[in-house]
Amino acid sequence: MALYSAAAAVLEGLERGAGGVKALVFQSRFPLYALVSETLRYSPVLEEVLGGAALLQAEKKLSPQLAKVLVYDLLFGKGLKCGGRWKALARRHRARLEAELARLKVRRKVSRNEELLAPAQAGGPGASQVPRYVRVNTLKTCVDDVIDFFRREGYSYLGKAASVEELRSLSGKKFLLDLHLPELLVFPPQTDFHDNVLYTSGHIILQDKASCLPAFLLSPAAGSHVIDACAAPGNKTGHLAAILKNKGQIFAFDVDTKRLATMSTMLMRAGVTGFQLAQQDFLTVDPGDPKYSKVAYILLDPSCSGSGMVNRVPVAEAAPSAERLQALAGFQRKVLSHGLSFPALQRLVYSTCSLHREENEDVVGAVLQEWGSAFRLVDAFPGWPCRGLAAFPGAESCLRASAADTLTHGFFVAVLERRGDGAAASRSLPVAAGDTPQHGEGTEAGAAPRKRKRKKQRVKE
Protein backbone atom coordinates (compact mmCIF):
# COMPACT_ATOMS: atom_id res chain seq x y z
CA MET A 1 0.00 0.00 0.00
CA ALA A 2 2.84 2.39 0.87
CA LEU A 3 4.40 2.05 -2.60
CA TYR A 4 1.25 3.20 -4.40
CA SER A 5 0.55 5.92 -1.85
CA ALA A 6 4.11 7.24 -2.30
CA ALA A 7 3.71 7.27 -6.09
CA ALA A 8 0.39 9.12 -5.71
CA ALA A 9 2.12 11.66 -3.47
CA VAL A 10 4.66 12.34 -6.24
CA LEU A 11 1.81 12.98 -8.71
CA GLU A 12 0.20 15.37 -6.24
CA GLY A 13 3.53 17.17 -5.79
CA LEU A 14 3.86 17.59 -9.55
CA GLU A 15 0.37 19.12 -9.73
CA ARG A 16 1.26 21.56 -6.93
CA GLY A 17 4.49 22.53 -8.66
CA ALA A 18 6.57 21.23 -5.73
CA GLY A 19 9.34 20.02 -8.06
CA GLY A 20 10.18 17.90 -11.08
CA VAL A 21 9.68 14.17 -11.40
CA LYS A 22 13.23 13.16 -10.53
CA ALA A 23 13.49 15.54 -7.58
CA LEU A 24 10.24 14.32 -6.04
CA VAL A 25 10.96 10.66 -6.69
CA PHE A 26 14.42 11.00 -5.15
CA GLN A 27 12.87 12.19 -1.87
CA SER A 28 11.00 8.89 -1.50
CA ARG A 29 12.41 5.69 -0.01
CA PHE A 30 10.75 3.67 -2.78
CA PRO A 31 12.03 3.03 -6.35
CA LEU A 32 9.21 4.98 -8.00
CA TYR A 33 10.59 6.50 -11.18
CA ALA A 34 9.35 3.86 -13.63
CA LEU A 35 5.90 3.63 -12.02
CA VAL A 36 5.41 7.41 -11.85
CA SER A 37 6.80 8.02 -15.35
CA GLU A 38 4.58 5.43 -16.99
CA THR A 39 1.51 6.56 -15.03
CA LEU A 40 2.13 10.09 -16.30
CA ARG A 41 2.66 8.85 -19.82
CA TYR A 42 -0.67 7.04 -19.79
CA SER A 43 -2.44 9.78 -17.81
CA PRO A 44 -4.92 10.89 -20.54
CA VAL A 45 -5.83 7.26 -21.24
CA LEU A 46 -6.24 6.53 -17.53
CA GLU A 47 -8.55 9.54 -17.14
CA GLU A 48 -10.81 8.19 -19.88
CA VAL A 49 -10.87 4.71 -18.38
CA LEU A 50 -11.53 6.02 -14.87
CA GLY A 51 -14.28 8.30 -16.15
CA GLY A 52 -15.97 5.57 -18.18
CA ALA A 53 -15.81 3.10 -15.29
CA ALA A 54 -16.99 5.77 -12.78
CA LEU A 55 -14.42 4.45 -10.29
CA LEU A 56 -13.98 7.72 -8.39
CA GLN A 57 -17.74 8.05 -7.98
CA ALA A 58 -17.97 4.51 -6.62
CA GLU A 59 -14.98 4.87 -4.27
CA LYS A 60 -15.23 8.27 -2.58
CA LYS A 61 -12.07 7.83 -0.47
CA LEU A 62 -9.88 7.12 -3.49
CA SER A 63 -7.91 10.15 -4.71
CA PRO A 64 -7.54 10.71 -8.49
CA GLN A 65 -3.75 10.35 -8.22
CA LEU A 66 -3.89 7.06 -6.33
CA ALA A 67 -6.57 5.78 -8.72
CA LYS A 68 -4.30 6.48 -11.69
CA VAL A 69 -1.33 4.66 -10.15
CA LEU A 70 -3.40 1.61 -9.20
CA VAL A 71 -5.20 1.36 -12.53
CA TYR A 72 -1.97 1.86 -14.48
CA ASP A 73 -0.31 -1.07 -12.73
CA LEU A 74 -3.48 -3.16 -12.99
CA LEU A 75 -4.09 -2.62 -16.72
CA PHE A 76 -0.79 -1.51 -18.25
CA GLY A 77 1.94 -2.51 -15.78
CA LYS A 78 2.97 -5.89 -14.46
CA GLY A 79 -0.06 -6.35 -12.25
CA LEU A 80 -0.67 -5.29 -8.68
CA LYS A 81 2.07 -6.94 -6.61
CA CYS A 82 1.35 -5.13 -3.35
CA GLY A 83 -1.09 -2.57 -2.05
CA GLY A 84 -3.14 -4.08 0.78
CA ARG A 85 -6.66 -2.68 0.81
CA TRP A 86 -6.02 -0.57 -2.30
CA LYS A 87 -5.05 -3.71 -4.20
CA ALA A 88 -8.29 -5.39 -3.09
CA LEU A 89 -10.27 -2.29 -4.08
CA ALA A 90 -8.79 -2.17 -7.59
CA ARG A 91 -9.37 -5.87 -8.13
CA ARG A 92 -13.02 -5.48 -7.13
CA HIS A 93 -13.46 -3.15 -10.09
CA ARG A 94 -11.14 -5.03 -12.44
CA ALA A 95 -13.81 -6.39 -14.79
CA ARG A 96 -15.41 -2.97 -15.23
CA LEU A 97 -12.02 -1.30 -15.83
CA GLU A 98 -10.93 -3.93 -18.37
CA ALA A 99 -14.24 -3.59 -20.19
CA GLU A 100 -13.85 0.19 -20.38
CA LEU A 101 -10.30 -0.20 -21.74
CA ALA A 102 -11.60 -2.61 -24.40
CA ARG A 103 -14.32 -0.14 -25.41
CA LEU A 104 -11.74 2.64 -25.66
CA LYS A 105 -9.61 0.53 -28.02
CA VAL A 106 -12.64 -0.15 -30.20
CA ARG A 107 -13.48 3.57 -30.36
CA ARG A 108 -9.88 4.42 -31.25
CA LYS A 109 -9.61 1.50 -33.69
CA VAL A 110 -6.41 0.18 -32.12
CA SER A 111 -5.43 -3.22 -30.75
CA ARG A 112 -2.39 -2.46 -28.58
CA ASN A 113 -2.19 -0.38 -25.41
CA GLU A 114 0.75 1.62 -26.77
CA GLU A 115 -1.34 2.71 -29.75
CA LEU A 116 -3.66 4.60 -27.40
CA LEU A 117 -0.88 7.11 -26.78
CA ALA A 118 -0.72 10.24 -28.90
CA PRO A 119 2.79 11.27 -30.02
CA ALA A 120 2.76 14.16 -27.54
CA GLN A 121 2.21 11.70 -24.70
CA ALA A 122 5.43 9.83 -25.40
CA GLY A 123 7.36 12.44 -23.44
CA GLY A 124 8.45 16.06 -23.32
CA PRO A 125 10.17 17.96 -26.15
CA GLY A 126 12.96 15.81 -27.56
CA ALA A 127 12.24 12.87 -25.26
CA SER A 128 11.05 10.60 -28.04
CA GLN A 129 14.44 10.78 -29.77
CA VAL A 130 16.78 10.48 -26.75
CA PRO A 131 17.94 6.87 -26.46
CA ARG A 132 18.16 4.89 -23.25
CA TYR A 133 21.80 5.02 -22.18
CA VAL A 134 23.18 2.26 -19.96
CA ARG A 135 26.57 2.71 -18.29
CA VAL A 136 28.30 -0.57 -17.51
CA ASN A 137 29.53 -0.54 -13.92
CA THR A 138 33.08 -1.83 -14.34
CA LEU A 139 33.44 -2.26 -10.58
CA LYS A 140 31.18 -5.30 -10.86
CA THR A 141 31.36 -6.52 -14.45
CA CYS A 142 32.65 -5.66 -17.92
CA VAL A 143 31.12 -4.53 -21.19
CA ASP A 144 31.52 -7.89 -22.92
CA ASP A 145 29.64 -9.76 -20.18
CA VAL A 146 26.79 -7.25 -20.17
CA ILE A 147 26.48 -7.50 -23.94
CA ASP A 148 26.34 -11.29 -23.63
CA PHE A 149 23.64 -11.00 -20.96
CA PHE A 150 21.41 -8.83 -23.12
CA ARG A 151 21.92 -11.15 -26.08
CA ARG A 152 20.62 -14.00 -23.91
CA GLU A 153 17.65 -11.78 -23.08
CA GLY A 154 16.76 -11.61 -26.77
CA TYR A 155 18.43 -8.30 -27.72
CA SER A 156 20.45 -7.91 -30.92
CA TYR A 157 23.88 -6.29 -30.53
CA LEU A 158 24.81 -4.18 -33.57
CA GLY A 159 28.39 -3.35 -32.57
CA LYS A 160 29.93 0.06 -32.02
CA ALA A 161 28.03 3.01 -33.45
CA ALA A 162 29.78 4.96 -36.20
CA SER A 163 27.60 8.07 -35.97
CA VAL A 164 24.85 9.80 -34.01
CA GLU A 165 22.48 8.90 -36.83
CA GLU A 166 22.94 5.22 -36.02
CA LEU A 167 21.81 5.92 -32.47
CA ARG A 168 18.81 7.82 -33.79
CA SER A 169 17.66 4.86 -35.88
CA LEU A 170 17.62 2.30 -33.04
CA SER A 171 14.34 0.45 -32.55
CA GLY A 172 12.91 -2.72 -31.10
CA LYS A 173 15.31 -4.92 -29.14
CA LYS A 174 18.50 -3.67 -30.75
CA PHE A 175 21.42 -1.93 -29.06
CA LEU A 176 24.83 -0.44 -29.80
CA LEU A 177 28.07 0.48 -28.08
CA ASP A 178 28.32 4.27 -27.94
CA LEU A 179 30.64 5.97 -30.41
CA HIS A 180 32.23 8.28 -27.80
CA LEU A 181 32.19 6.60 -24.38
CA PRO A 182 33.71 3.12 -24.11
CA GLU A 183 31.47 1.72 -21.33
CA LEU A 184 28.14 3.06 -22.53
CA LEU A 185 25.49 0.93 -24.25
CA VAL A 186 22.66 2.53 -26.20
CA PHE A 187 19.09 1.22 -26.47
CA PRO A 188 15.96 2.62 -28.15
CA PRO A 189 14.04 5.42 -26.37
CA GLN A 190 11.55 4.36 -23.67
CA THR A 191 13.39 1.07 -23.03
CA ASP A 192 12.87 0.43 -19.34
CA PHE A 193 15.42 -1.46 -17.25
CA HIS A 194 14.36 -0.32 -13.77
CA ASP A 195 13.21 -3.88 -12.94
CA ASN A 196 16.08 -5.61 -14.73
CA VAL A 197 18.34 -7.73 -12.52
CA LEU A 198 21.44 -5.95 -13.84
CA TYR A 199 20.07 -2.63 -12.65
CA THR A 200 18.79 -3.81 -9.28
CA SER A 201 22.12 -5.53 -8.58
CA GLY A 202 24.21 -2.49 -9.54
CA HIS A 203 25.87 -4.05 -12.60
CA ILE A 204 24.46 -1.33 -14.87
CA ILE A 205 23.63 2.32 -14.19
CA LEU A 206 20.87 4.13 -16.07
CA GLN A 207 22.62 7.42 -16.79
CA ASP A 208 22.28 9.84 -19.67
CA LYS A 209 25.30 10.07 -21.93
CA ALA A 210 25.83 13.76 -21.25
CA SER A 211 25.82 13.09 -17.51
CA CYS A 212 28.68 10.62 -18.04
CA LEU A 213 30.92 13.28 -19.59
CA PRO A 214 32.06 15.09 -16.40
CA ALA A 215 33.65 12.07 -14.68
CA PHE A 216 34.97 10.74 -18.00
CA LEU A 217 36.69 14.06 -18.76
CA LEU A 218 37.98 14.56 -15.22
CA SER A 219 39.71 11.18 -15.71
CA PRO A 220 41.46 10.93 -12.32
CA ALA A 221 44.33 8.46 -12.14
CA ALA A 222 43.90 5.43 -9.88
CA GLY A 223 44.97 6.28 -6.34
CA SER A 224 44.01 9.96 -6.61
CA HIS A 225 42.10 12.02 -4.08
CA VAL A 226 38.96 13.48 -5.66
CA ILE A 227 36.15 15.78 -4.53
CA ASP A 228 32.60 15.48 -5.85
CA ALA A 229 31.40 18.88 -4.68
CA CYS A 230 27.63 18.62 -5.19
CA ALA A 231 27.32 14.86 -5.25
CA ALA A 232 23.72 13.62 -4.87
CA PRO A 233 22.12 11.60 -6.39
CA GLY A 234 25.51 9.90 -6.85
CA ASN A 235 25.74 8.57 -10.42
CA LYS A 236 28.78 10.73 -11.12
CA THR A 237 30.38 9.68 -7.82
CA GLY A 238 29.95 6.04 -8.78
CA HIS A 239 31.38 6.75 -12.21
CA LEU A 240 34.43 8.38 -10.60
CA ALA A 241 34.94 5.31 -8.43
CA ALA A 242 34.82 3.07 -11.50
CA ILE A 243 37.42 5.23 -13.24
CA LEU A 244 39.60 5.10 -10.11
CA LYS A 245 39.04 1.31 -9.96
CA ASN A 246 38.18 1.86 -6.28
CA LYS A 247 41.81 2.91 -5.70
CA GLY A 248 41.96 6.33 -4.12
CA GLN A 249 39.67 8.51 -2.05
CA ILE A 250 36.47 10.34 -2.99
CA PHE A 251 35.10 13.11 -0.76
CA ALA A 252 31.46 13.69 -1.66
CA PHE A 253 29.40 16.61 -0.34
CA ASP A 254 25.70 17.41 -0.34
CA VAL A 255 23.46 19.44 1.98
CA ASP A 256 20.44 17.11 2.01
CA THR A 257 20.40 14.28 4.57
CA LYS A 258 17.82 12.14 2.77
CA ARG A 259 19.61 12.47 -0.56
CA LEU A 260 22.91 11.42 1.05
CA ALA A 261 21.27 8.40 2.70
CA THR A 262 19.84 7.27 -0.63
CA MET A 263 23.17 7.99 -2.32
CA SER A 264 25.03 5.85 0.22
CA THR A 265 22.71 2.91 -0.48
CA MET A 266 23.15 3.33 -4.22
CA LEU A 267 26.97 3.51 -3.98
CA MET A 268 27.11 0.40 -1.79
CA ARG A 269 24.91 -1.46 -4.29
CA ALA A 270 27.32 -0.40 -7.06
CA GLY A 271 30.29 -1.80 -5.14
CA VAL A 272 31.89 1.60 -4.48
CA THR A 273 34.48 1.77 -1.70
CA GLY A 274 36.91 4.46 -0.63
CA PHE A 275 34.39 7.28 -0.36
CA GLN A 276 33.40 9.66 2.43
CA LEU A 277 29.98 11.32 2.36
CA ALA A 278 29.50 14.58 4.23
CA GLN A 279 26.31 16.57 4.82
CA GLN A 280 27.97 19.88 4.19
CA ASP A 281 27.73 22.87 1.87
CA PHE A 282 30.83 22.68 -0.33
CA LEU A 283 31.31 26.43 0.12
CA THR A 284 31.99 25.81 3.82
CA VAL A 285 34.70 23.19 3.16
CA ASP A 286 38.12 24.58 4.10
CA PRO A 287 40.63 24.14 1.25
CA GLY A 288 43.42 24.45 3.84
CA ASP A 289 42.21 21.46 5.85
CA PRO A 290 45.01 18.82 5.82
CA LYS A 291 42.34 16.22 5.04
CA TYR A 292 42.08 17.67 1.52
CA SER A 293 45.77 18.42 1.00
CA LYS A 294 46.09 15.72 -1.69
CA VAL A 295 42.91 16.57 -3.62
CA ALA A 296 44.07 16.92 -7.23
CA TYR A 297 40.71 16.53 -8.99
CA ILE A 298 37.32 18.15 -8.41
CA LEU A 299 34.03 17.41 -10.13
CA LEU A 300 31.67 20.35 -9.74
CA ASP A 301 28.08 19.95 -10.92
CA PRO A 302 26.27 22.66 -8.92
CA SER A 303 22.59 23.47 -8.64
CA CYS A 304 21.29 24.94 -11.87
CA SER A 305 18.06 25.77 -13.68
CA GLY A 306 17.83 22.25 -15.14
CA SER A 307 16.70 23.76 -18.44
CA GLY A 308 18.52 21.06 -20.41
CA MET A 309 16.68 18.14 -18.84
CA VAL A 310 14.56 16.24 -21.34
CA ASN A 311 11.44 14.83 -19.73
CA ARG A 312 10.47 11.32 -20.77
CA VAL A 313 7.06 12.16 -19.31
CA PRO A 314 4.71 15.02 -20.33
CA VAL A 315 5.32 17.45 -17.46
CA ALA A 316 5.72 21.09 -18.40
CA GLU A 317 8.09 23.18 -16.28
CA ALA A 318 8.25 26.95 -16.37
CA ALA A 319 11.36 28.68 -17.72
CA PRO A 320 13.48 30.36 -15.01
CA SER A 321 13.11 34.10 -14.61
CA ALA A 322 16.02 36.48 -15.27
CA GLU A 323 16.29 37.04 -11.52
CA ARG A 324 16.47 33.31 -10.87
CA LEU A 325 19.20 32.88 -13.52
CA GLN A 326 21.27 35.69 -12.03
CA ALA A 327 20.96 34.22 -8.55
CA LEU A 328 22.03 30.79 -9.81
CA ALA A 329 24.93 32.25 -11.78
CA GLY A 330 26.13 34.15 -8.71
CA PHE A 331 26.17 30.94 -6.68
CA GLN A 332 27.86 29.02 -9.50
CA ARG A 333 30.65 31.61 -9.85
CA LYS A 334 31.24 31.50 -6.11
CA VAL A 335 31.37 27.71 -5.89
CA LEU A 336 33.60 27.37 -8.98
CA SER A 337 36.07 29.90 -7.60
CA HIS A 338 36.04 28.08 -4.27
CA GLY A 339 36.84 24.81 -6.02
CA LEU A 340 39.87 26.33 -7.72
CA SER A 341 41.26 27.41 -4.32
CA PHE A 342 42.25 23.89 -3.23
CA PRO A 343 46.07 23.99 -3.12
CA ALA A 344 46.86 20.62 -4.75
CA LEU A 345 44.18 20.90 -7.44
CA GLN A 346 45.34 19.99 -10.95
CA ARG A 347 42.07 19.57 -12.85
CA LEU A 348 38.46 20.63 -12.27
CA VAL A 349 35.42 19.80 -14.39
CA TYR A 350 32.51 22.23 -14.19
CA SER A 351 29.18 21.02 -15.56
CA THR A 352 25.50 21.92 -15.56
CA CYS A 353 22.33 20.49 -17.08
CA SER A 354 21.43 24.01 -18.21
CA LEU A 355 21.17 25.52 -21.68
CA HIS A 356 21.59 29.11 -20.49
CA ARG A 357 24.78 30.99 -21.28
CA GLU A 358 24.44 32.82 -17.92
CA GLU A 359 25.06 29.55 -16.04
CA ASN A 360 27.68 28.19 -18.40
CA GLU A 361 30.14 30.21 -20.51
CA ASP A 362 29.53 33.41 -18.54
CA VAL A 363 30.34 31.66 -15.25
CA VAL A 364 33.50 30.02 -16.59
CA GLY A 365 34.68 33.21 -18.31
CA ALA A 366 34.18 35.33 -15.20
CA VAL A 367 36.03 32.90 -12.91
CA LEU A 368 38.94 32.43 -15.32
CA GLN A 369 39.29 36.20 -15.46
CA GLU A 370 39.20 36.36 -11.67
CA TRP A 371 42.02 33.81 -11.36
CA GLY A 372 44.17 35.40 -14.05
CA SER A 373 46.81 33.05 -15.49
CA ALA A 374 46.60 30.42 -12.72
CA PHE A 375 44.21 28.17 -14.67
CA ARG A 376 43.51 27.46 -18.31
CA LEU A 377 40.52 26.07 -20.20
CA VAL A 378 41.34 22.73 -21.84
CA ASP A 379 40.08 21.61 -25.24
CA ALA A 380 39.36 18.23 -23.71
CA PHE A 381 37.33 16.41 -26.33
CA PRO A 382 38.09 17.81 -29.81
CA GLY A 383 35.92 15.18 -31.50
CA TRP A 384 32.77 16.27 -29.66
CA PRO A 385 30.46 17.95 -32.20
CA CYS A 386 28.91 20.77 -30.11
CA ARG A 387 31.12 23.47 -28.63
CA GLY A 388 30.70 26.39 -26.26
CA LEU A 389 29.11 29.67 -27.30
CA ALA A 390 31.50 32.47 -28.28
CA ALA A 391 31.13 34.33 -24.98
CA PHE A 392 34.89 34.88 -24.54
CA PRO A 393 38.09 33.90 -26.43
CA GLY A 394 38.58 30.14 -26.14
CA ALA A 395 35.00 29.37 -25.07
CA GLU A 396 34.77 26.89 -27.95
CA SER A 397 36.90 24.56 -25.79
CA CYS A 398 33.79 23.99 -23.67
CA LEU A 399 31.34 21.22 -24.59
CA ARG A 400 27.61 21.49 -25.08
CA ALA A 401 25.04 18.76 -25.60
CA SER A 402 21.39 18.73 -26.66
CA ALA A 403 18.62 16.36 -27.68
CA ALA A 404 18.70 17.66 -31.24
CA ASP A 405 22.47 17.53 -31.85
CA THR A 406 23.87 14.81 -29.59
CA LEU A 407 20.72 12.82 -28.64
CA THR A 408 21.23 13.55 -24.95
CA HIS A 409 19.90 15.85 -22.28
CA GLY A 410 21.02 19.45 -22.63
CA PHE A 411 24.38 19.79 -20.89
CA PHE A 412 27.46 21.97 -20.55
CA VAL A 413 30.98 20.89 -19.56
CA ALA A 414 34.21 22.84 -19.09
CA VAL A 415 37.58 21.37 -18.08
CA LEU A 416 39.96 23.67 -16.20
CA GLU A 417 43.58 22.85 -15.43
CA ARG A 418 46.21 24.54 -13.32
CA ARG A 419 48.99 26.05 -15.41
CA GLY A 420 52.64 25.19 -14.83
CA ASP A 421 53.47 21.85 -13.25
CA GLY A 422 49.90 20.63 -13.66
CA ALA A 423 49.90 21.14 -17.40
CA ALA A 424 51.49 17.74 -17.93
CA ALA A 425 48.36 16.11 -16.52
CA SER A 426 46.48 16.98 -19.73
CA ARG A 427 48.13 13.98 -21.41
CA SER A 428 45.81 11.66 -19.48
CA LEU A 429 42.62 13.32 -20.68
CA PRO A 430 40.34 11.16 -22.84
CA VAL A 431 40.53 11.87 -26.55
CA ALA A 432 38.15 11.75 -29.49
CA ALA A 433 36.16 8.74 -30.68
CA GLY A 434 38.23 5.94 -32.13
CA ASP A 435 41.28 6.77 -30.01
CA THR A 436 39.68 6.68 -26.58
CA PRO A 437 42.14 5.39 -23.95
CA GLN A 438 41.23 3.42 -20.87
CA HIS A 439 40.78 5.77 -17.95
CA GLY A 440 43.91 6.92 -16.18
CA GLU A 441 46.38 5.17 -18.49
CA GLY A 442 47.81 8.39 -19.85
CA THR A 443 47.52 7.35 -23.48
CA GLU A 444 48.63 10.04 -25.89
CA ALA A 445 46.17 11.36 -28.47
CA GLY A 446 46.25 9.12 -31.51
CA ALA A 447 47.78 6.12 -29.72
CA ALA A 448 46.11 2.74 -29.99
CA PRO A 449 43.98 1.91 -26.96
CA ARG A 450 45.08 -0.97 -24.79
CA LYS A 451 43.02 -4.12 -24.94
CA ARG A 452 40.53 -4.42 -22.11
CA LYS A 453 40.86 -7.34 -19.73
CA ARG A 454 37.68 -9.24 -18.95
CA LYS A 455 36.60 -9.11 -15.33
CA LYS A 456 36.44 -12.31 -13.33
CA GLN A 457 32.90 -11.70 -12.13
CA ARG A 458 30.34 -12.72 -14.72
CA VAL A 459 26.77 -11.58 -15.03
CA LYS A 460 24.25 -14.32 -14.38
CA GLU A 461 20.69 -14.43 -15.58
- Answer whether 225's CB lies under 8 Å from 251's CB: yes
Cα distance between residue 312 and residue 132, in whole Å: 10
**SS3 letters for 230-282?**
CCCCCHHHHHHHHHHCCCCEEEEEECCHHHHHHHHHHHHHCCCCCEEEEECCH
77: phi > 0 → left, psi -120 to 50 → alpha, else beta; which? beta
DSSP string, 343-391: TT--EEEEEES---GGGTHHHHHHHHHHHTTSEEEE---TT-S-B--SS
Task: Report the half-sphere exposure of 75 (CA within 13 A, side-chain side).
Answer: 32
Cα distance between residue 106 and residue 117, in whole Å: 14
Q: Identify the bridge partners of residue 249 per DSSP, sorted by sequence position.
A: 225
**Which among 120, 104, 124 is positioned nearest to 112, based on CA atoms?**
104
Residues 6+ apart with CB under 8 A from 254: 230, 231, 232, 260, 263, 277, 279
* Helix (H), strand (E) at residue 225: strand 225-228
Cα distance between residue 185 and residue 145, in whole Å: 12
DSSP string, 84-129: HHHHHHHHHTHHHHHHHHHHHHHHHT-SSGGGGS-GGGG-STTGGG
Residues with a known catalytic role: 353
Q: Identify the bridge partners of residue 174 per DSSP, sorted by sequence position.
A: 156
Residues 6+ apart with CB under 8 A from 192: 34, 38, 132
Q: Identify the bridge partners of residue 228 per DSSP, sorted by sequence position.
A: 252, 299
Cα distance between residue 278 and residue 215, in whole Å: 20
Using DSSP's 3-state secondary structure scheme, residue 409 falls into coil
Q: Identify the bridge partners of residue 347 per DSSP, sorted by sequence position.
A: 297, 417
- Answer whether 235's CB lies under 8 Å from 210's CB: no
Quick one: DSSP state of residue 315? -
